Structure 1
């Protein structure tokens, strides 16, 4: 029985390289040539491993969401309180105003802005990604409520959705070039509203 030729590249590294291209350029303006060059693949290796640009994007997008939400989950476990976690995450994004990588924005929200609801496949990916981030924030809010730093009568899911929305807006402002002091002022107001 033939299993085909073994892969002569690292699929995880290729996926990471493709994710960076999509994150930098967006889906529509990323060409197959851009992807092949970044991933170091031939067309045949690309199609054999990833099937299509859309299939590759879905894998990159899911990888991004699980990577980001996984980092958030780890940070929550390491935080001394739910409130500290929320505060630290938002200040870290505000600090990104100094970072070229953070000025790319968020792949999730960039994709939502690029597609809106025009493509049901992409809209489903975006919805799933938002739920990943909201789940971590909901856990942090519930923890903060049990610790007495957020009013226990407030709906934790509604606050989690508010935090995802606020994070999206903050990342967009960082991408737009707001200064470090402006982004930290925004964070102070977000935290006050909790």
Structure 2
């Protein structure tokens, strides 16, 4: 009688995500992935599917983690501006202390243009991030923490694109002071 092997799918997805995050989709071999997941390739095909399906699941897992982080932040303090500043400062720490840049950004440039499922996941993630920022900025304006003559939609869009630029800048220059200065400048502009 064949025995059932228990499979921790979430743990395996997380391990595969780490491989994709480090090496990218094209740089990750099936062997790299199955070794990290501690399964053989037939188990991968039987439980998840092929490499492409695994990548889709990993990108979704990554964006789900980001959503949970946004939700936790909203319960952290009563000051929307404080939440926003903490988020900006944490984003800087992730950029300068992380070995890899944002997985969503990497996936958007490597696979997103040619894969509609990845593009859809990343667009939903970007939209969620935008809503998170927009609501914080709008609430900070309503509480008088940010000048009410600013456009909260524009500021949310601006921060999303600025964040991508900070990631690129750090990848190219590896200059933590530069990223910190840009973040402080952005915070200063918000609180004028």
Give 1:171 deviation, angstroms: 2.5
Q: Tell me if 1:149 matches 2:145.
A: yes
Note if contact 2:56-2:117 (Cα within 8 Å) is conserved in structure 1.
Answer: no
List runs of 5+ in structure 1 lacking aligned partners: none
Q: Which has the higher contact order (CA 8 A, sep 6+)?
A: 1
Say if 1:179 and 1:9 are closer, same or farther in 2 by CA, change over 3 A: same
Note if contact 2:59-2:118 (Cα within 8 Å) is conserved in structure 1.
Answer: no
Give 1:33 deviation, angstroms: 0.8
When normalised by structure 1's length, the TM-score is 0.87
Say if 1:5 and 1:46 are closer, same or farther in 2 by CA, change over 3 A: farther
Residue matched to 2:114 = 118
Q: Tell me if 1:130 matches 2:126.
A: yes
Note if contact 1:36-1:43 (Cα within 8 Å) is conserved in structure 2.
Answer: yes
Say if 1:139 and 1:159 are closer, same or farther in 2 by CA, change over 3 A: same
Provide the rounded CA distance (Å) in 2 between the counterparts of 1:133 and 1:155.
17
Give 1:18 deviation, angstroms: 0.6
Provide the rounded CA distance (Å) in 1 between the counterparts of 2:111 and 2:174.
25
Provide the rounded CA distance (Å) in 1 between the counterparts of 2:77 and 2:174.
28
Give 1:90 deviation, angstroms: 1.4
Residue matched to 1:168 = 164
Note if contact 2:101-2:171 (Cα within 8 Å) is conserved in structure 1.
Answer: yes
Matches within 5 A, 1:14-25: 14-25=12-23
Matches within 5 A, 1:35-50: 35-50=33-48
Residue matched to 1:84 = 82
Say if 1:177 and 1:39 are closer, same or farther in 2 by CA, change over 3 A: farther
Give 1:40 deviation, angstroms: 0.4
**SS of equivalent residue, structure 1 residue 78:** coil
Give 1:193 deviation, angstroms: 3.4
Q: Tell me if 1:72 matches 2:70.
A: yes
Provide the rounded CA distance (Å) in 1 between the counterparts of 2:46 and 2:148.
52
Provide the rounded CA distance (Å) in 1 between the counterparts of 2:50 and 2:160.
30
**Count of matched residue positions in the alignment of Structure 1 and Structure 2:** 189
Calculate the aligned-residue CA RMSD, in Å: 2.1
Note if contact 1:17-1:38 (Cα within 8 Å) is conserved in structure 2.
Answer: yes
Give 1:153 deviation, angstroms: 4.1
Provide the rounded CA distance (Å) in 2 between the counterparts of 1:177 and 1:92.
20
